[in-house]
Each structure stands twice: as structure tokens, then as C-alpha cells.
Structure 1
Amino acid sequence: MMINLKDALLDRFLRYVKIDTQSDPESECSPSTEKQKNLGRILVEELEAFGLQNAEMDDFGVVYATLSRNSTKTDVPKIMFCSHMDTSPDCSGENVKPIIHENYQGQDLILPDDNSQVIRMSEHPDLKHQLGNDIITASGTTLLGADNKAGLAAIMTALEYLAKHPEIKHGDIKILFTPDEEVGRGTENVDLKRLDADFGYTVDGETLGSIENETFSADGVEIRIHGVSAHPGFAKGKMQNALKIGAEIIAALPKEILSPETTESKEGFIHPTDIQGNVELCKLSFIVRDFDESGLLKKENLLKEIVEDVLKEYDNSSFEFMVKEQYRNMKVVLDNYPQVTENAIQAIKRAGIEPKLQSIRGGTDGSKLSFMGLPCPNIFAGEHAFHSKLEWVSVQDMLKAAEVIVNLAIIYEEKA
């Protein structure tokens, strides 16, 4: 039903990905990079052009807006759609050159600015479902930014469609565009009172038709090893090198299980992400993931036992073990609001797509929003191979995501 907006969607997606919005995990500012606001300002202008109420970006780079209800029903729930504006710090997002591969026929996609970067169907099986579609990639030296600018483009296209078709009745539709999702701070400054929504959906998923109502539960762990420093020329029997102790801890981690490279499906992991230090002090950073909080605790206890076992050989050294909660499995909240997931499944079916109810081996803004009081599963945006130079998305999948958003607006109004 939205095919007439295909060109509009493509145009805005190509414009969005050319804007560098990479976030910075080392920054203590909000947003972590000011350049994210460059996209935020453009989005506010477009939202205002569609006639949305109160479209604005706050000092933290969070964008809010409302498409006011046109339904005569007074009890239609206020639904929110959310995507994030930043791109991952894992791969450059500067000077993105998007390339459109029209009418894809299964061939290898060799990216022109680095011919070693090749997107092959054998390595990206979802391409089997894209024959005849238009695939967008970057040029080989950057990520594309479909994560999550595909979601932005889908939401904006759905809003344009609703604005052009006032005969479609809907309640208040709330818009939330966040910075810094990729560095775990997407909801840090979100004002739920200002947003004023009853239920929400992040549009940040992968495969066509997917809806995700479950995420990892996540903690961060920092271990500080306090060694014993001595002059290396006179260190025998005295020095206990904190950096070498830290390396032993990492080497003692299980090799066949409990790591990202050895797990899948509902299996959790312990993942070292950083090591830095010197003879006297070494800092180790880990992320710990599990779908169940008891599993999370077991993994953290195992990690602590490994540290204690290694330190037994170093009588004058000590350690600190600090756990910081990052986010929790949103299914705990969403199970209390089954209609939120059910309505998304129905909206996907109305778009002629087979729904795929899935779990995320990761997290979204929806994880934290759910625990903040706004139940918020995740629906597909069509993005693939995110955080890499091989990232790709299809125009047709983004258009279907926009159609699902419109269907959700309709369904909530119908059921009120």
C-alpha cells in the first residue's frame, strides 16, 4: 500500500547515512558526540513539515514529536516508535558512500573502494530472500549505518503516509529518536513524562518479519589487579606484574564454551573487551550476558573464581571485582502486556509477511524503556551485518517496516 513512497524512503535513507553520527564510548558528554545533533536537527525539520506537534530536540540530542490523533475515540492508547540516530564506534561512519544494487540477482557484491570487502550469499543467507530487490551497501571502507537509519527512514516514511492519508484513523503517535544507543546510553536522558506514551516499539531489528520480545540481561564487570612493582633489574622474588596476572586471567577463561565465538541461541557468555595497565595496576573489562538473571550471576561467580584461583599464586597482590548492571531481559515486563506483542504480530501479518517471534542476543533501547515503565518490543528494520563494512539493507524491507508501523497505528485504533 505504500509503494508510492518508495522513492521518498530511499531518498531520506541515503541522506541520513551520509551524516556521520558515530557515538563515542569514552566520552562523558550527552550526547557523546555533538555531530549526532546534525541528524537530529534535520529530523525535527522533517517532522515539522509533516505537521507533527511539538517536534523538538533537547540539549541531550533526544528528539520528541507527536502526530496528534484523528480518531474520535478517546481511549486509543498512545503508541511510540523509536529508533536511534548514532552509529557504532566499531567501524568508521565518516564519509559513507551508499551504493544501490538494483534488482539483486544473487551475485557477489564486491564493494568498489576495497575489493577485499565482498558480500556473498553463502555468508549472508538472508540474501536468498532478496532476489529482485534493491540492496544498499556502503563502498567498502565504512559501515553503512542502516543500524539504525533504516529504522529512522521507516518511521519517517510511515509518518509521511499517515499525514497524506487523514482518512486512516489513529490515536496519538509518539516519536522518540535517541542518541548513543550504540554505547549503551540511548535512554539515559529520555523523559517519559514528556514523551507521554502508553506502549512503544523500537524499529531496530534485522530480518523481514521479525519481532523480538526478549533480550539478554547484561552486566559489565571491571576487575582491578593490584600487583607489586619493583625495579626490573632487582625484581627477583619481589615483583608481581599486574599486567601479566591480568593476561593469566584472560588465558584461564573457558575456551570451548561461554564465549561469543562459541555460543548461539539462548546461550550466554563472558566476554573480555579491554585490558590496560602496567606492573602495579591492571584493569580488565568484561561484558557478561545471559537471558536469565540466575545464569548471569553464575557466570559472574565463575569469573570471580577464576580471578581468585590465579591470585593464589601471587601472595602480595590483590584484586577488586566490580559489577555494574547494564540492562535486563525485557520479556519480564512484556509478559505482563501480551497485547503489545500480539498487535505487532497482527500488523506484520497484515503486511503480507510471516511473523518471526525471536530473542535478541543483545539489547535495544526497548530493554531499558520497558523497565522504565514503557513496554517496548523490537520490530524489524531490515538491517543486516551491522557494525561492519559489509552492512546492507534492502529498500523493500524498509518499506515493509514502514507499512507495519502504519498497520500498528490502525490496529490500536480499531481495538480501542
Structure 2
Amino acid sequence: MFRKDRIIDRFFGYVKIDTQSDPKSNSTPSTEKQWDLANKLVTELKEIGMQEVSIDENAYVMASLPANVSHKVPVIGFVAHFDTTPDFTGTNVNPQIVENYDGGDILLNEEKNIILSPEYFEDLIQYKGQTLITTDGTTLLGADDKAGITEIMTAMEYLIDNPEIPHGTIKVCFTPDEEIGRGAHKFDVQKFGAEWAYTMDGSQIGELEFENFNAAGAVVTVEGKSVHPGYAKDKLVNSMYIAQDFINSLPRLETPEHTEGRQGFFHLTNIHGNVEETVLEYIIRDHDKKHFEARKKMMKDLVAEICKQYERECVKIEIKDQYFNMKEKVEPVMQIVEIAEEAMKELHIKPIIKPIRGGTDGAQLSFMGLPCPNIFAGGHNFHGKYEYVPVESMQKATEVIVKIAEMTANKYKK
């Protein structure tokens, strides 16, 4: 249905453009180089025949595919992001093709002896016999989320070239800065004009997600007193020791490396300090809203307890909410999940419905009035040199987009 070579060529064209975002930047997009791919996508959308193609001052790319049926169908959308994570370099991506994968080790880089092995990455086994796209061991791949862009673009081109497939009006949007949590910040939901949408930003084939973490960030600042160590008796207060007390007082097993599924956690992401001052940076995550609020309260209570112990305000905490569980906004319109689930089943794809242990643009968009579940894009091992994507998974994701469009049109036919 969708030629492998066409999908590979399109995907390669995207991943070879460096679009790494930068959390330290205050601009949108956060890096100038994201414009390179954004402008390319505008040109390509016009070339395949999409309508109302636009790019705004923040590099949000939007386009429309007009309905080809006479009856009223809800306007739906598909969203993907074009930035890549700042966690690992995306410069000079050199993707490798592994034809008819044999189920064994894949040598990514002979010089550096970097091996992608199913002994460590067990998911590889399920793709035996398929065509894999990997890195060369020196960069990430960028399937997160250029696979999603490839699938949306290919699906729109297919619908345009095959007008016998019924569909309502379809909107697409490609966004910057998702990897630094800003992908939806300047998304114009009203301009987009869809009743609901799907982010094509999941991992393995079959993933369908409408739950994600509630998320907050916390900064804990500990104040000490620096005194010459030779004369420090009963005077010096080492902020690093107090910070250590704070760290050790949180539940040790409620951290990312000890949790899974719907289990929440506290995650210490950064620590820097000296005797006078130590700063701890945390992220707080939980799917359950009550548990999420309890985690924030636990940290605040711990700060109060330590201050009481030292009889002064030696610890301060600032907590900022980042995003919330989209389940709250999607459950009232569960038919949008059911349509995606049924589309997968019709294509003989087993739906894997599970909570996201993270967040997507869809979480923020759902709270902005655009319910937005997440669908697999096919990639694995995101944000590093072991990232890979099976071409067959990208083909299937493209089929899912087309099937959702067709099923939505038929569902609302009187």
C-alpha cells in the first residue's frame, strides 16, 4: 500500500536536518535550525496538494485537506513535532538500513564497537525479518518524531491521490520544541479548527495512549552558613548535609528506576551547591491526581519539618505544575479512542492501550480544548544512539491514519 522506498526517502530527508531544541533558549522555536525543516515541510505540503498551508512566526506549520463527502463529518487532526531532544546530538545524522533483520546483534559503529543487541533491547526480536533503520552509533536517529511527520505526510498524499477513499476535513500540524515541553505553548487551537486530533508520537506498533502523567517541577534551595572550618564549632551549617537529609527523607523506592505502569515518582534531576547554598531540582510525576497533589504536599511538609528542626527558614521550595493527565479530557469523548482502536483492529494491529510514562503535546492540547490521544509512530530507544525504527511500523502507522479518516467519515454518514 505504501512503498518502502518512498517512506525511507522521505524519512531520511527529515532526519538529516538537525532540529535539536534548546531548553535554555527563550525564543520559539528555541533554535534557528528548526526553521530549516519547518520551511521544507511547508514546501512539501504544497507540492502534495494540501490546502491552507501556513507557517506562523513561531514555526507552527498547519495545513488542511478538504472533505470529499457531502455529509457532515467532524473535523479531525493529526499532529507531530519536528524538533529532536537536547539529550543527545542530532547533528550529522547518518541513518543505516538493515534489510531482513536476522534477529541478532547489529553493529552500529565498528570503529567504536557500538552494538544494538536484542540481549539488552528485547523489543528487537519482534522485528525479525523486517527492515530496520538505525543510527550509525554517533547520533540519535530522530524517529521521535520525524517518523510521525513521515506518516502524516504520506497518509495525506495517499488520500489526495486516492479520492475514492471517503474522508471529512483533515487538519495537520507540525510543531517545534515538544522535546523541551513547549510544543503546545503557542499552538493556535482555534486556527487549527479540529474537534479532536491524534499525536503520532508513540513508540512500538500498536500503542494507543490517552493517559499520561500529571507533572510538576520543584526547586529546593537550602541555605547554610559558611565559617572558617578551623573556628566552625557550633557555627558552620553545611547546606549540602541538609540537602542530603532532604534527599534521603523522600521514599527511596519511589524513583524512576524502581517504578513502572501507573506508579508515580520523585526524580532528582540536578544538584549543585557548596557549604553556603545547595540547590536540588526535581520532577514530580503521578497518573493519579490525588497522589500527585499528595507528592507535592509531602515535599512541602518535609521542607517545613527540616526548617523546624534547624529552628530557622533554611530550606525553601518552589513547585510549578507542568502538565496534567489528558485522561480527564479524553474520557468524556472516548469515541475518539475507540475509532483509533477499531482502525488498528481492522488493519490486524493489536492495540496496546497503556498509560504514557511521560507527556506529549496531546496532554497540553487536551486541556486547551483539543482532545488528543497518542498513536504509535514506530520508533524505539528514543533520545540516544540506540534509536531505531522498523519501516513496516511506519507503513502500518500510515495505514492507521488513513483508516481513521475513512472510518470517521463512514461513522457519521446518515
Short-chain TM bin: over 0.9
Measure how far apart 1:221 and its partner are.
1.1
TM value normalised by structure 2:
0.95
The residue number in structure 2 matching 1:41 is 39
Q: CA RMSD in A?
A: 1.6
- Structure 1: how far apart are the matches of 2:397 and 2:27? 32
CA contact (8 A) 1:134 1:396 kept: yes
Using the alignment, how far apart are the partners of 1:161 and 1:50 within structure 2? 9
- Give 1:23 shift: 0.9
Selected match of 1:173 from 158, 165, 170? 170
CA contact (8 A) 2:49 2:157 kept: no
- The structure-2 alpha-carbon separation of the partners of 1:270 and 1:142, relative to structure 1 and needing over 3 Å to count, comes to same
Q: Quick check: 1:240 aligned with 2:237?
A: yes
Aligned length: 412
Who is 1:273 aligned against?
269
Amino acid at match of 1:84: H
Q: Do the aligned residues in 1 keep the contact of 2:200 with 2:374 (CA within 8 Å)? A: yes
| In structure 2, C-alpha distance between the alignment counterparts of 1:309 and 1:193, rounded to whole Å | 47
Name the counterpart of 1:32.
Answer: 30
Aligned-partner residue type, residue 23 of structure 2 = P
Per-residue CA deviations over 1:285-341 (Å, capped at 9, x if unaligned) read 111111111111222222334434444553445222221111111111111001100
Query: 300, 307, 311: which is aligned to 1:304?
Result: 300
Query: Which ranges in structure 2 are unaligned for 5 or more consecutive residues?
Result: none
Aligned to 1:328: 324
Shift of residue 89 of structure 1? 1.1
Deviations 1:197-236 (A, max 9, x none): 1110000111111111111111111112222233455444
Tell me the distance in 1 between the aligned counterparts of 2:30 and 2:227.
Answer: 39
Which AA in structure 2 matches 1:307?
Answer: V
SS across alignment from 2:210: strand
The CA deviation at 1:31 is: 1.3
Q: Indicate which of 91, 104, 107 corresponds to 2:88.
A: 91
**1:247-266 equivalent positions in 2, closer than 5 A:** 247-255=244-252, 257-266=253-262
Percent identical among aligned pairs is: 46
Deviations 1:108-161 (A, max 9, x none): 112116644322213222222211111111111111111111111111111111
Give, in angstroms, the shift of residue 247 of structure 1: 3.5
> What's 2:49 paired with?
51
Q: Which residue of the other structure, out of 72, 75, 80, is the alignment partner of 2:77?
A: 80
Contact 2:22 2:180 in 1 (8 A): yes
* Residues in 1 aligned to 2:237 and 2:109: alpha-carbon distance in whole angstroms: 51
The answer to whether the 8 Å contact 2:303/2:316 transfers is no
Residue range with higher mean Cα deviation, 386-395 or 119-128: 119-128
CA contact (8 A) 1:228 1:317 kept: no
Structure 1 match to 2:353: 357
2:288 is matched with 292
- Tell me, which stretches of 5 or more residues in structure 1 are unaligned? none
Query: Mapping of 1:37-186 within 5 angstroms?
Result: 37-73=35-71, 75-112=72-109, 115-186=112-183
- 2:184, 2:137 → 1: CA distance? 31
1:397 to 393, 397, 402: 393
- Does the Cα contact within 8 Å between 1:212 and 1:360 map onto a contact in 2? yes
The amino acid of 1:151's aligned partner reads G
CA distance in 2, matches of 1:121, 1:193: 45
Point out the more displaced range, 179-188 or 22-31: 22-31
The two structures have a TM-score, normalised by structure 1, of: 0.95
Q: What amino acid does structure 1 have at the position aligned with 2:180?
A: V
- 2:365 and 2:342 mapped to 1: Cα distance? 23
- Give the equivalent residue in structure 1 for 2:11: 13
